[in-house]
Chains A and B, each alone.
Chain A
Amino acid sequence: GAGVSQSPSNKVTEKGKDVELRCDPISGHTALYWYRQSLGQGLEFLIYFQGNSAPDKSGLPSDRFSAERTGGSVSTLTIQRTQQEDSAVYLCASSLHGGTTYEQYFGPGTRLTVT
């Protein structure tokens, strides 16, 4: 079946502009995660959605970052007034259930470049 998909695959934007990154999780997966991966670094947790529960936003680096998940499926990560330090690969993952002991399936990521 289809895996996690993300769009766009690449995004170049000017400093100060807003961007929206999209994630389509695996159908039926109730948990969805967003991570950020800077060049040569590990994955940095951003936000976690589980079913209808309030999301865990503890990893969002600033109030310029927000995310929503509509209908328990597709998720959008929005970055307002982008800065050069926002340049990174943004990865989305989903798992069948919440809790990190369920395998997380990752999408290919969106590479964001802020010029």
Chain B
Amino acid sequence: GESVGLHLPTLSVQEGDNSIINCAYSNSASDYFIWYKQESGKGPQFIIDIRSNMDKRQGQRVTVLLNKTVKHLSLQIAATQPGDSAVYFCAENMAGFQKLVFGTGTRLLVSP
């Protein structure tokens, strides 16, 4: 069945370091992927997305990499800041379906 999972439940980094959050997905028919950031007590906030016809997309301080061969998605955050501390979720969508399948999340802790 469909499943999206994360390798590391918690990632601790120092301020200024680069962070990499990983996500594995199992449905090879998924064609759209999104990363969300969720701060404590708030709803998820869109960070960046990528379609399956791409393998890399860059935003402001963030980069998403997609490896369809091994069904792996990663989020890279450059120069991590304390304000980046949150839970990060990946989500996938399969073509023709109207709902996202979310992973369980990775908590990012940034120390000053």
Chain A residues engaging chain B, CB cutoff 8 angstroms: 4, 33, 35, 40-45, 48, 50, 56, 58-59, 91, 93, 98-101, 103-109
Contacts and interface: CB of A to CB of B under 8 A. Distances in A.
Interface size range of chain B in the complex: 20 to 34
Interface in B84-112: 89, 91, 93, 97-105
Contacts of B43: 4, 91, 93, 106-109
A108 B102 contact: no
A42 B99 contact: no
Interface in B44-67: 44-46, 49
B44 A91 contact: yes
A48 B4 contact: no
Contact of A108 (B41, B46, B91): B41
Contacts, number: 57
Nearest to A105: B46
A41 B99 contact: no
Contact of B104 (A35, A41, A104, A108): A41
A22 B93 CA distance: 26
A71 to B, nearest CB: 21
Contact of B98 (A42, A48, A107): A48
A40 B104 contact: yes
B7 interface: no
Given A45-B101, A109-B43, 5 more contacts: A41-B104, A42-B103, A43-B100, A101-B32, A109-B42
